[in-house]
A and B are shown apart, each in its own frame.
Chain A
Amino acid sequence: MAMPAYYTTKDKVWHYTFRVICFAIFFFLLAPILIMIPLSFNAAPFFTFTREMLTLQPEGFSLRWYQDFLSSESWMRSIRNSFIIGIAATLLSTTLGTLAALGLSKSEMPAKGLIMGILISPMIVPLIISAAGMFFFFSSIKIAQTYLGVVLAHAALGTPFVVITVTATLVGFDHSLTRAAANLGASPTRTFFKITMPLILPGVISGALFAFITSFDEIVVVLFVAGVEQRTIPREMWSGIREDISPTILAVATILVLISVALLTVVELLRRRGERLRGMTPG
């Protein structure tokens, strides 16, 4: 971007300083993540760059940690668990969150602020407190250390994201469309699936992805609520670091980063589609 002609020396200095600051922030945010990727190809069992790697010799690199990861039964179980729990929790929180957002968007709904506050409290309450509370509660109703317990806990954590994204989508929703559908003879159920749902779908999917990612990289609640059977990827990484310090977790981390990037790309594409659709609302 060219600098305007009226810039003084002070403005010019700031112009460049500003860019340096921005770059520093991005570096600070991304370096720890990006540094893992080359390290995961380390041939030696260290968390540091070896001389061979720094001089770019082929023997310094290997896929052994990826192999290790793929051939390990406990890692494979954790992947399975992460997806089972993540998908189940996502389905639950997406359904509940969407229904809640729809209800809260109705003008005749009483105590909206209070209900909204309660629904999004899992985002605000420190996770360790939610986790401890869930641990005691789930233990007393005998669902601690079960899949059901972990899924319910993660659904509670994911619901706020769905409520927020769907509520945001509903702000631009033209409620005369549901009236028009009713007027044309469609029952409330049909109106929901044929008119409301297609129009708020981008918000629902964004919320669902956030809920999935929340579950996918959650560790605190899993530590409290899950048993050995329900170990998820983050939980396995946690033991990996504490018990046998192996660069396998770097390989896992690299894979997780790629999954997150893919999911966030989908979110962004959906958001754009949503904006296009909303722009199409007449009047």
Chain B
Amino acid sequence: MGNASTSDGFVAFDRVQKSYDGETLVVKDLNLSIAKGEFMTMLGPSGSGKTTCLMMLAGFETATSGEISLDGRPINSVPPHKRGIGMVFQNYALFPHMTVGENLSFPLEVRGMGKSEREKKVKRALDMVQMGKFAGRRPAQLSGGQQQRIALARSLVFEPDLVLMDEPLGALDKNLRERMQYEIKHIHNNLGVTVVYVTHDQTEALTMSDNVAVFDDGIIQQLAPPDVLYEKPDNAFVAAFIGENNTLRGKVDGVNGTTCTVRLDDGSEVKALKVNVAGDGVRTTLSLRPERVVLGEEAASMPNRFEAEVLELIYLGDHIRVRMNVCGDDEFIVKVPNNKGGRDMKVGQKAPVGWAIEDCRALDPS
């Protein structure tokens, strides 16, 4: 929960701030520690400061204040070419005047490695991304997905301990993107390299990461493993940003240990888990995942029960998304499995809905 303690990680940001114009902070008081071998994803909307953090780590931007350290060594004053960090760029940044082999050989040449050793490493790196046959091609002769693999191989060929990836899959189509997600994940597992991955795609973040740092407004909103992030969001921003989410708004009306009672704006009462609310009388946002809502007769056994009206049915193959009116909210989504009960639903039909206290989280007002 929250920010991990710094100074003991392989990569550590210690009270890092960044401002481009000297007035507005793009990154505000960042504390982040990344363990060796970890796959850490920085997730957030554009302008949230995640790419700036990556650029500071790579050395292309300097921190306005605070300290960044790598393997216990402060790197604020180390120029990018002496950091020894691999990086996959958003547009791949392959050198167009060099062949694929020369692109991969470049970081090894820079390190003064002999020819035979270079060739061996280049071949191994290309084989790793299944591009062994393409060493003689120019980048322009490759498809986007192939260029992406070469960029990945080039970032790993000099065996860095840390690899940064700046939305590397952004330009690929959906199928290829999913395949590459698994490949990157497998390479990470096999090599044990530490990866810092920047993306605005939450599915990508959930699929690949050990830990996800959700950025918004220059602040890490929550740092947690994917399952915790999805199931136990700390605040309304994370709940809305990760996955699909039903929000109900109201006022806290009684706290009882870890749970609380919330009076919604239409007057109905909901029992929820007290997560991020101060106490009686404050406004709150209730977050509830669509797949945790029970529809039909089973709802009778739930502590929260309401009568709902079906407004819209969207057929999605494996399940049906049902948009309903619940407690005055027209945008309430319930996911119903595609079975007999699901198929029999009709627009305009009334049905009971219900949910458990622990699935309904009372968060900050948004």
Contact = CB atoms under 8 A, between A and B. Distances in A.
A279 B90 CA distance: 18
B81 interface: yes
Contacts of A277: 96-97
A282 B98 CA distance: 12
B95 A195 contact: yes
B49 interface: no
Interface string A245-283: 000000000000000000000000000000001011111
Interface string A152-178: 000000000000000000000010110
A176 B85 contact: no
Interface string B279-304: 00000000000000000000000000
A187 B91 contact: no
Quick one: which of A174, A184, A187, A194 has the most chain B CB within 10 A?
A: A184
Contacts of A176: 89-91, 93
Contact of B81 (A174, A187, A198, A280): A187
Contacts of B237: none
Interface stretch (B104-112, B128-136, B210-218): B104-112
B106 A194 contact: yes
A110 interface: no
Contact of B96 (A184, A191, A194, A281): A281
Interface residue SS majority, chain B: loop
Interface string B46-82: 0000000000001110000000000000000001111
A283 B106 contact: no
B96 A185 contact: no
Output the residue of B84, B86, B93, B138 with the most chain A CB within 10 A. B93
B81 A182 contact: yes
Nearest to B89: A176
Contacts of A194: 106
Interface residues of A, number: 25
Interface size of B as a range: 20 to 34
Given A184-B106, A185-B158, A187-B81, A177 B60 contact: no
Nearest to A191: B81
A174 B97 CA distance: 12
Nearest to A178: B93
A12 interface: no
A184 B154 contact: yes
Contacts of A174: 91, 93
Contacts of B80: 179, 182-183
Going nearest first, the 10 A-B pairs with the smallest beta carbon separation are A283-B91, A184-B107, A280-B140, A180-B93, A280-B96, A182-B80, A176-B93, A185-B110, A182-B81, A183-B87
24 contacts: A174-B91, A176-B90, A177-B95, A177-B96, A179-B93, A180-B95, A181-B95, A182-B60, A183-B58, A183-B80, A183-B83, A184-B154, A185-B84, A185-B158, A188-B81, A190-B110, A199-B97, A279-B140, A280-B140, A281-B96, A282-B92, A282-B139, A282-B147, A283-B171
